[in-house]
């Protein structure tokens, strides 16, 4: 199944400035793996060395955060887009 991944501006320098990337995956984990395979500079930017999503990132399937679902094992329903969101900090 084809899925669109929306890339935050903070990571676009690692995806050749592409804001949306199409992958073929049934789960969030498979989508992230394909994304990193296509753009190796993303290695370590999305997942920790233990394979967990970095705490400063959130991934949404549609409008739902995968942290509130099955995490990286979350299945991607047909027609849904993945949205990667970087946390903002400052004050």
**Domain boundary assignment for the chain:** 2-86
Is the pLDDT confidence value at 89 over 90? no
Average pLDDT, the chain: 94
Domain covering 2-86: architecture: Roll (3.10)
Query: Which of 60, 49, 63, 48 minimizes the C-alpha distance to 86?
Result: 60
> Is the distance from CB of 40 to CB of 19 less than 8 angstroms?
no
Rounded to whole angstroms, how far apart are CA atoms 34 and 32? Answer: 5
Rounded to whole angstroms, how far apart are CA atoms 32 and 45? Answer: 11
pLDDT at 34: 97
pTM value is 0.91
Give residue 1's pLDDT band: very low, low, confident or very high (50, 70, 90): confident
**Phi and psi, residue 14, nearest 5°:** -90, -10
Q: What is the mean pLDDT of residues 66-80?
A: 95
Is the pLDDT confidence value at 91 over 80? no
């Amino acid at each position: 199944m084809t899925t669109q991944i929306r890339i935050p501006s903070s990571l676009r320098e690692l995806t050749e400035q592409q804001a949306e990337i199409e992958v073929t995956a049934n789960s969030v984990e498979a989508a992230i793996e394909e994304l990193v395979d296509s753009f190796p500079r993303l290695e370590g930017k999305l997942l920790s060395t233990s394979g967990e999503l970095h705490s400063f990132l959130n991934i949404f399937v549609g409008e739902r955060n995968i942290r509130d679902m099955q995490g990286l094992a979350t299945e991607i329903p047909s027609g849904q887009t993945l949205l990667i969101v970087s946390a903002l900090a400052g004050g």
